Amino acid sequence: MRIENSQGTVITSLSDWAKLYDSPQTSHQWKEHRSAYSAAEFLMNRNGGATIQSRVSDAFGKSIEFERAIPEYEVRFDEFGRGRVHDIGIFGNTEAGESAFIGIEAKVDESFGMTVHDAYLKAKAKQISGVSTNAPQRIEELLAMHFTKPDISMFDIRYQLLYATAGTLAAGADISFLYIIVFKTVLYNEAIGAENFKDYIQFMSKVGARPVKLSNKEVHCHELSFQGKQLICLHECIEF
Q: What pLDDT score was predicted for residue 13?
A: 96
Task: Name the nearest CA neighbour of 237 among 200, 211, 202, 204.
Answer: 200
Residue 126: which domain range?
2-239
Q: What pLDDT score was predicted for residue 120?
A: 97
Cα separation, 152 vs 141, whole angstroms: 15
Number of compact structural domains in the chain: 1
Terminal-residue alpha carbon distance, the chain: 22
Is residue 151 exposed (0-12), middle (13-18) or buried (19+ Cβ within 10 Å)?
A: exposed
Q: How does pLDDT run along the chain (240 residues), one tens digit per residue? A: 999 999 999 999 999 999 999 988 888 999 999 999 999 999 999 999 999 999 999 999 999 999 999 999 999 999 998 899 999 999 999 999 999 999 999 999 999 999 999 999 999 999 999 999 999 999 999 999 999 888 899 999 999 999 999 999 999 999 999 999 999 999 999 999 999 999 999 999 999 999 999 989 899 999 999 878 899 999 999 999
pTM: 0.95
Cα separation, 223 vs 207, whole angstroms: 10
Task: Name the nearest CA neighbour of 107 among 188, 194, 219.
Answer: 188
Nearest 5°: the CA angle 51, 57, 61 is: 150
